[in-house]
Amino acid sequence: MRVRDSGMDASTVIGLLHPGEMGAEVGRCLAERGHLVLWASHGRSEQTATRAAMAGLTDAGTAADLAGRADAIISVCPPHGALAVARSVRGFGGLYVDANAISPATARQVAEIAASSMRRVVYVSCNPATLGRDAGLLRSAGFRILSALPVDQFLWSARLESVVVLAR
């Protein structure tokens, strides 16, 4: 995995929900760059705890405790769990990155959950049509696009992800 400079310094505390195989790799990359990466062990398996320890992640206990300590939260979970994960940190006022492969309708529901206190959204999409539609919806809700970055996540394939940062 290639990691570009995010503009965050190493003092940025990052919460990771939840360190499965992909999430643990994301967390490992961030920890290697000097970030304190928190995860929430409450309700998680021993296998997840082992993966988190091997990736150098720090246990915050619960999702609520993680949200209280983190500057940014990255959600990496199976699509069916995206809403429950977002609800577990309801009211979090920092940067929330939903890095799940979810449908645009579910992405809008996640945005609604966090809308009351969310100032910044990082939208990741592999579909330009839905990205355009959803970015338009977010703009009409007061968000403005700060940056857009194409990401070649699947080298040597025709797929290209788009990462768009919006803020209000």
CA distance 55 to 25: 7
- Tell me, rounded to whole angstroms, the distance of Cα 34 from its chain centroid: 18
Whether 126 is catalytic is: yes
Task: Please report, as a single letter, which amino acid is at residue 138.
Answer: L
Choice among 29, 126, 145, 151 that is catalytic: 126
Q: Are 101 and 89 in contact (CB under 8 A)?
A: no
Residue 105 CB neighbours (<10 A): 9
115: Cβ contacts below 8 Å, ≥ 6 apart: 141
In this structure, is the dihedral angle defined by the CA atoms of residues 82, 104, 67 and 8, taken in order, positive or negative? Answer: positive
Other C-beta atoms lying within 10 Å of the C-beta of residue 159 = 11
Cβ atoms of residues 162 and 148 within 8 Å: yes
Does the bond joining 18 to the residue before it have cis omega, within 30 degrees of 0?
A: yes
Report the catalytic residues.
126
